[in-house]
Structure 1
């Protein structure tokens, strides 16, 4: 009963997906303001997407 309100711990993939989503939002916001910073955010998001795919392939 006391475990009813405990937060579920996020998996590594869930953490990376949240980070990816945040970076993509930043990328979109910067795309019309600062192109070089926008490109940097996109590259970082793509690296995280590769990590997510790697983790998904390892778990299957």
Structure 2
């Protein structure tokens, strides 16, 4: 209840973004390989940003 208005940290936001992009990439891998590769690349870039935070 008290965490309702708690702001997410930058790390949490990047982790969610990485997870979302990875899932999209996986789903697209069966229908559109080029778009899937693009999403995978974007996910890798987000992971690099996460690595910098550590």
Which residue, 9, 15, 30 being the options, matches 1:32? 30
Normalised to the residue count of structure 2, the TM-score between the two structures is 0.91
Structure 1: runs of 5 or more not aligned? none
The answer to which structure has the higher helix fraction is 1
DSSP 3-state at the match of 1:51 = helix
Number of residue pairs matched by the alignment: 54
1:39-58 matched pairs, under 5 angstroms: 39-56=37-54
* Unaligned residue ranges in structure 2 (runs of 5+): none
Q: Name the larger-Rg structure.
A: 1
What value does the CA root-mean-square deviation take over the aligned residues? 1.5
TM-score by length of 1: 0.82
Q: Which runs of 4+ in 1 moved over 6 A?
A: none
Structure 2 distance, partners of 1:16, 1:36, is 23
